[in-house]
Structure 1
Amino acid sequence: MDMKLEVVVVPVADVDRARAFYEKLGWRLDADFTDGEDFRVVQFTPPGSPCSIIFGTRISAATPGSSEGLHLVVPDIEAARAELADRGVEVSEVFHDAGGVFHRAGTEGRVTGPDPERRSYSSFLSFSDPDGNGWVLQEITTRLPGR
């Protein structure tokens, strides 16, 4: 049976502020529904993604800003960084891991610049939404077998 990840809940404190941020990213607004004053759900989808995010009022009991390691895959990490910066997003420098593997939590082991060999899966950048939910962009140019 196929199981596809469709939606990720992102906990936010201010729904309108979060909506404005994700609009600024250029993501598609799929829904903004309310059911009275105490329930609201907003859904956005990143360009080209089959998975969306939702946030809102009474959507999650998680602490706003507590999501981290939300990954977006891009074919060109430097072009992605330039686009985000042009949209006014505070974004990290492109980095790779000192050990040459997947990045570590936080900033430990980060080396500035893309992977020296430009290996697929090895170059990253990061940014956060206004609540501190942490996003990572990962450059993938050639998929591993079976992916």
Structure 2
Amino acid sequence: MDFRIELVPLAVSDVDRAVAFYGDQVGWPVDHDRTVHEGLRFVQVTPPGSACSICFGTGLEMLADGQRQMIQVVVEDADEALAYLRERDVAAEGVDDLPWGRFVRFEDPDGNRWALQQLVVPA
């Protein structure tokens, strides 16, 4: 039996600002942005190459108000990921070299945190 994580909810205070951040600034495809009816809006964004998407909106009741997420994703090259984010004016920390990986970290406007990890194979 397979267990595939396909959707991780984020709490955001301003849906339009989050769409602009993830879609326009970070440059990730916005797969869905639908207002089902007044009070219910669903947005889904999928990072390139990922089988898992993030979602946010209004009326979803997936997370308590004020809840924040920490999401870690794997990238092929941490330096390239940092350059990509900085080219798009995303405030990202420099590469943190650790024995178990190379990390680049950033936050969205609502404080949801991201860690981009380049895997390191021990010698």
Q: Given the two structures, how large is their TM-score scaled by the length of structure 2?
A: 0.89
Q: How does 1:57-72 map to 2 (within 5 A)?
A: 57-59=58-60, 60-64=62-66, 66-68=68-70, 70-72=71-73
- Unpaired runs of 5+ residues, structure 2, are none
Q: Deviations over 1:28-51 (max 9, x none)?
A: 111011122200000000010000
2:80 matched residue in structure 1: 79
Contact residue 93 and residue 125 of structure 1 kept, 8 A: yes
2:41 matched residue in structure 1: 40
Q: CA RMSD in A?
A: 1.5
C-alpha distance in structure 1 between counterparts of 2:113 and 2:95, whole Å = 15
1:125 matched residue in structure 2: 104
C-alpha distance in structure 1 between counterparts of 2:53 and 2:108, whole Å = 15
Q: Which amino acid aligns with 1:132?
A: G
1:105 matched residue in structure 2: none
- Unpaired runs of 5+ residues, structure 1, are 96-113, 143-147
Residue 64 (structure 1) shift: 3.7
SS of the counterpart of 1:81?
Answer: helix
Q: Which amino acid aligns with 1:84?
A: L
1:13 matched residue in structure 2: 13
SS of the counterpart of 2:114?
Answer: strand
Count, aligned residues: 119
C-alpha distance in structure 2 between counterparts of 1:55 and 1:10, whole Å = 5
Higher strand content, 1 or 2 = 2
Q: Return the index of the structure with the highest Cα Rg.
A: 1
Residue 133 (structure 1) shift: 0.3
